[in-house]
Amino acid sequence: MHTTRVIDKEFEPYLTAAELDQAIEKMAASINHDYAGKKPLFIAILNGSFVFAADLFKKISIDAEICFIKLASYKGTKSSGQVITAIGLDTDIHNRHVIILEDIIDTGRTMHEFLPQLMHQQPASLELAVLLHKPEAAVFPVRIKYLGFSIPDKFVVGYGLDYNGYGRNIPELLRLREA
Ligand code: 5GP
Ligand code: MG
């Protein structure tokens, strides 16, 4: 089978560019329908979501804004573990209909910690649009309103997702080849 090397690992085809595009088309159609007249604010989580966010946003035909943030996680002083800080959120989300764009939800930890922080700013609504979800890896409950694909708990790269910084420019999704 054709494989692609990223740094020191071999990856095999998983989701084609056409399959990704089709799922994003469907997601955009749902959002266009559900958010008509609501002027939603998309918040894309960098770095991994930038390709997904760009492709989805091009298919959004209603009035909408988009902004980009980075999440930094620190080991908290609390026993509960991580503290997530948003970098670059300079748009006021109070009373806005917010849709978070995330490339992949794995354990759910990041969104589980981050969404309550956003709720403090009292958006009119807050939902998640996620390209990939690994249900087998779920540890923290996260409610995903718009989902592209449920995938097995295997490492994937491409379409914005990286392996140690590389592979983001691969136009399709690849998964780690079993040894
Ligand atoms: P969570 O907080 O849900 O465990 O982690 C989500 C983050 O883990 C994603 O935003 C992504 O950065 C990273 N991640 C989880 N699974 C994968 C994967 O299969 N491939 C890549 N490239 N990143 C992943
Ligand atoms: Mg991410």
Domains and CATH numbers, the chain: 8-170 (3.40.50.2020)
Which residue minimizes the CA distance to atom 23 of ligand 1? 161
Please report the pLDDT score of residue 179 as a whole number: 74
For ligand 1, the distance from its centroid to the CA atom of residue 10, given in whole angstroms, is: 18
Q: Candidates 14, 133, 161: which one to mutate for ligand 1, based on the most atoms within 8 Å of Cβ?
A: 161
What value, to the nearest 5°, has the Cα angle with vertex 164 and ends 160 and 168?
Answer: 20
Among the residue ranges 6-15, 44-53, 75-84, 113-122, the one predicted with the least confidence is: 75-84
Ligand showing the shortest atom-to-Cα distance for residue 133: 1
Indicate the length of the chain as a whole number.
179
pTM: 0.95
Encoded amino acid at 50, one letter: F
Residues in contact with ligand 1 by the CB-under-6-Å rule are 48, 103-110, 155-157, 161-162
Distance from C-alpha of 23 to C-alpha of 29, rounded to nearest angstrom: 10
Distance from C-alpha of 104 to C-alpha of 147, rounded to nearest angstrom: 10
- Output the DSSP codes for 3-16: -EEETTEEEEEEE-
Please report the pLDDT score of residue 75 as a whole number: 67
For ligand 2, the distance from its centroid to the CA atom of residue 60, given in whole angstroms, is: 21
For ligand 1, the distance from its centroid to the CA atom of residue 113, given in whole angstroms, is: 15
List pLDDT tens digits, range 75-123: 655 555 677 889 999 899 999 999 999 999 999 999 999 999 999 999 9
